[in-house]
């Protein structure tokens, strides 16, 4: 506007057969508030904390430890309760072997 840049809203209105447009400038108090918000955000996002810098590493370590612990628990229970399966497997193998053998006695 007259060589100055001013933020504003362009309002377009069609009344009768003509299209009319006007520019409503943004009030100064809104521009000042927006400028202050931008400054606060810039200060907030420029600060670095330990959590912001290392949160990806910490979460990855926690997940890795949880996966390792669950794998070790799985291996422990596998070896602890495998005896029952081994006994059942041996009994099944013996039953299959006896299935093809017909016990009998030689004729006298």
The tokens for 67 are 């996966």
Of 47, 66, 83, the residue that ends a domain is: 47
* pLDDT confidence of residue 1: 59
In the predicted structure, residue 107 carries a pLDDT above the cut 90: no
Residue 94 is assigned to a structural domain of this protein: yes
The verdict on 2 and 16 lying in the same domain is yes
| Inter-CA distances, 78 with 19, 66, 85, 88, 91, Å | 80, 18, 10, 15, 20
Q: Which tens digit of pLDDT belongs to each residue from 40-94?
A: 999 988 888 898 889 999 999 999 999 999 999 999 988 888 776 677 787 888 8
Q: What is the dihedral of CA 74, 75, 76, 80, to 10 degrees?
A: 100
The verdict on 64 and 43 lying in the same domain is no
The verdict on 27 and 59 lying in the same domain is no
Q: Which tens digit of pLDDT belongs to each residue from 3-40?
A: 777 778 888 887 777 888 888 888 888 888 889 999 99
Residue 6 is assigned to a structural domain of this protein: yes
The verdict on 55 and 29 lying in the same domain is no
């Amino acid at each position: 506007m007259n060589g100055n840049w001013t933020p504003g809203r362009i309002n377009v209105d069609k009344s009768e057969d003509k299209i009319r447009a006007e520019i409503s400038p943004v009030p100064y108090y809104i521009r000042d508030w927006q400028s202050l918000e931008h400054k606060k955000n810039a200060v907030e996002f420029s600060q670095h904390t330990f959590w912001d810098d290392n949160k990806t590493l910490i979460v990855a370590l926690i997940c890795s430890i949880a996966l390792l612990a669950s794998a070790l628990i799985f291996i422990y229970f596998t070896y602890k309760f495998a005896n029952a399966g081994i006994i059942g497997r041996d009994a099944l193998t013996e039953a299959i072997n006896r299935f093809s053998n017909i016990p009998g006695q030689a004729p006298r």
